[in-house]
Every structure is written in structure tokens, then in C-alpha cells.
Amino acid sequence: MQPYNVSNSGAFIEEFIVQPYQPGSLSNLNFSVKDCIDVKDKITGFGNPTWRSTHPKASANAICVELLLSQGAKCVGKTVTDEFTYSLLGENHFYGTPLNPRCPDRVPGGSSSGSASSVACDLVDFALGTDTGGSIRVPASNCGIYGYRSSHGRIPTAGVIPLAPSLDTVGVLAKNMQTLKLAASALMGGINLCNNPSANYKIAVVEEIFAACDPNIQKSIYQHLDKNFKEYTVIRLSDIMSADVTLAWLFDLYVLLHSCELWSVHGAWVEAVKPELGPIADYNFNCIAKLANRGLLADGMKKREWFAKKIQSYLKKDTLLCFPTVPETAPKKGFYNQNPAARTSGTYFQNLIGINALAGLSKSPQITIPITDSSAIPVGISFLAGQNQDEFLIETISSWILD
């Protein structure tokens, strides 16, 4: 892979240096920060120039940034994000598309696009991102790196611009599992993640998700499983739920909750300021009025809690769900920018959001690890643990990767 720099990667919106407070577990490592996360004395631009021009500089670092600086890591800048962190593509109309160095003609994935690109281009050791509906996991998969979405509420979100608060999480993108493990430990308050987790874990492959994916992805991931694991079981979501839960069901529930929360958080500003929007953001906001059906919200919240309890009851403390991170390889650059309405046609986005809603609706941690499909394009294989079982998830995957 050719060497990349800040200019030809397109990953950064702003370069600067924030030195660590003291030596620690992350000494000699540097990191970038997604542009929805506060860094003191810098404007948090949220991927949109109107937002950037109407908001002041941050008065303090986000807590997640503080935790990394306190463990010896150096912050080297802010990275590009999709407008309002509201997309899974990684193409920003105003600031450009960060490079996917593994597949330069394809999107990096969003909304933590610049964070993923900065890692994949070897410009930083790791990056801070946020994940509401796949914004860490999708770009990690597309760019061939590791991505960790934390349990809901496990890593502090103070100083992070919200999108849909009951679904928002902070997480990490990294080139290797060891760095991800160190950063995740710091973000959870410096907990000690051991190198010898229990060997009594189980892997349950989610059949509905595999069935919705491109055959090449299915083949590549099953080959990976067969090569690396002695045994795994195949289960259906409907078996866990004792009800007919499909990817379409997950998609509909996620979109309802996400749309209602997003408009409650940002609708007044959008209507009052009337910001300049790129074509994808404009299309997204125009869709919200149709998607945010508040008459269905109470029932949707009950369904979410029911779903989360069923998942947690199944997973307990020894089981990991396994499935492809994305249903298809990364789309070609420019297609959806030129055809925003194509987001709601076909099956790509419905399946992509449905797959990634599994963690958000169950409040669970998830890690995607990179493999390569049969056409040599990066894809990720994901593992999901029970809520607040982040240590078990990280320790177990580390034992496979680092042995």
C-alpha cells in the first residue's frame, strides 16, 4: 500500500496537537477525533459548514478525549464526518470523501469516515468515533480495520453532539486488536483487560443475517469460521425471540426511534437556521417527517425493551452472536450523492441498517474484525456480546487475534 498523508487521504478537517497529560498505557500512541466530539478551543463542526459557523469553540474536551489524554495518548486533529453524522456512506458534500485506501474507488463508509480513513491510511494509531446505527462498524468493515461499538452508556458521551441519544455510543477504530484493546480499556476508565479469558464461550451464527448478504460475503465468512473455530451453532432471531423478528422488523423499529429522537434533538435548529445542506443530508431531513411517526413511539419503545431483554437473556455471559458486518461490499463513490433517493430503493440500506440495528436496539457491544471477500474487497465479521459484557467481548476476541 502506498504511503498516504493528510492531504491525499482527505481524512482530516483540521490538524492540531493536544499533548497528553501524563504517561500511561497509551504513551507513544496518537489518535484522531471525529468532528462531532469536542476538543477544547476547537469548533465541533458536525460535518456541516453552517453548524460550524453558528457554534462557538468547545470550552472543554469531551470526557472520552480526556480519558485518552490521561493515559498518555496524543491527539493530532479532527476528522471528517458525514453531515450531522447522519449517513453510512462517508461522502461529505462540503468536505469531500475521505479515502478508502483498500478500495480507492469505493466509499469509506460513515459517519466515522475520516476516523476510519485516518487509521486505514496509517496516519494515526487509532481514532475516536461514534456509532448510532453503524457509524463505526460500517467504515471499519469497508476499510479493512477493527471497529468497536461499546455498550450503550459504557463510555461517557458528555461533550459529544447527540444524534439519537438512546442509540448513541462512543467507540474506537484501530489497525490492530492490541491497540483497540488498549484504547477501549482507557475509555472504560482504565480497567484491566486480561489476556486469558474464559475458554468456555459459545459462538452463535445468526442465520437471517447471513441469508440477507451477498453470497461472496457469506462464503468468505463461513470459510473464516470453519478455519478458526472448532464449532459454532446456527440460530435464528425468531428462535431467540419466540416471535417473527426479521431484518425488516429491526429496520422499521430502528428508523422510528432514530427519526423521532433526531428531530427532537436538532429539528428546532434546522427549522430556525435553515442550514445549507448537501444532497444526502437534504434528502434525509426531508424524509424525517414521514419516518418520525410519534403515534407509534410508545409502542416502539416497548418493542425495543422487549427485544433487548430477549437478547440479553440469550447471551448471558458466555455467548457471542456472529454475523457479517455489512450485507454487500462498499458502494462505488458518488452513486448515492448523485441519486439520493436510491437510498430508499433496493435492499442495501434496509439490510445494512437492519443488521447494525441489532446492537443498537439491544444496547450491546459489538466488534468487527477485518477479512477479505473472494473479490479481494474488505469486509468485516462481527461479534456481539450481551450489554455491559464489553470486557468479555474484547478479551475473547483478543485471545483469538493475539495468540
* Residues 251 and 173 both lie in one domain: no
* Residues 140 and 209 both lie in one domain: no
| Arithmetic mean of pLDDT over the chain | 94
Nearest to 7 by CA among 88, 109, 118: 118
Query: What are 300's three cell numbers?
Result: 416502539
* Residues 160 and 272 both lie in one domain: no
Alpha helices of 229-370 — where are they, by DSSP H?
A: 237-241, 247-273, 279-291, 297-315, 335-338, 348-362
Centre a 10 Å sphere on the Cβ of residue 312 and count the other Cβ atoms it contains.
17
Q: What are the pLDDT digits (tens) for 338-367?
A: 777 777 777 899 999 999 999 999 999 999
Which domain-ending residue is among 187, 218, 245? 187
Q: List, in sequence order, every residue forming a beta bridge with 315; answer none if it has no partner.
A: none
Domain of 13, in residue numbers: 6-187
How many structural domains compose the chain? 2
Q: What are the pLDDT digits (tens) for 290-323?
A: 788 899 999 999 999 999 999 999 998 789 999 9
Is pLDDT above 60 for 403? no
Query: What are 373's three cell numbers?
Result: 471477500
SS3 of residue 326 by DSSP: coil
* Residues 339 and 294 both lie in one domain: yes
* 135 in catalytic set: yes
Residue 1 lies in a domain: no
Which domain-ending residue is among 152, 187, 222? 187
* Residues 58 and 122 both lie in one domain: yes
* Residues 332 and 386 both lie in one domain: yes
CATH of the domain at 324: 3.90.1300.10
* Residues 131 and 234 both lie in one domain: no
* 34 in catalytic set: yes
Q: Which of 113, 115, 117, 135 is catalytic?
A: 135
Q: What are the pLDDT digits (tens) for 228-262?
A: 887 899 999 989 998 889 999 999 999 999 999 99
Q: Which of 111, 112, 113, 398 is catalytic?
A: 111
* Residues 237 and 122 both lie in one domain: no
* Residues 69 and 136 both lie in one domain: yes
DSSP category for residue 3:
-
Which domain-ending residue is among 187, 216, 246? 187
Angle among Cα 263, 171, 197 to the nearest 5 degrees reads 140
If you average pLDDT over residues 146-173, what whole number do you get? 98
Is pLDDT above 60 for 212? yes
* Residues 260 and 125 both lie in one domain: no
* Residues 278 and 330 both lie in one domain: yes
Residue 393 lies in a domain: yes
* Residues 104 and 178 both lie in one domain: yes
pTM for the whole structure: 0.96
Question: Is-cis flag, bond preceding 111, omega within 30?
Answer: yes
Which distant-in-sequence residues (6+ apart) come within 8 Å of 355 by Cβ?
134, 209, 212, 247, 250, 323, 324, 325, 326, 327
Is pLDDT above 60 for 64? yes
Q: Which of 9, 34, 303, 333 is catalytic?
A: 34
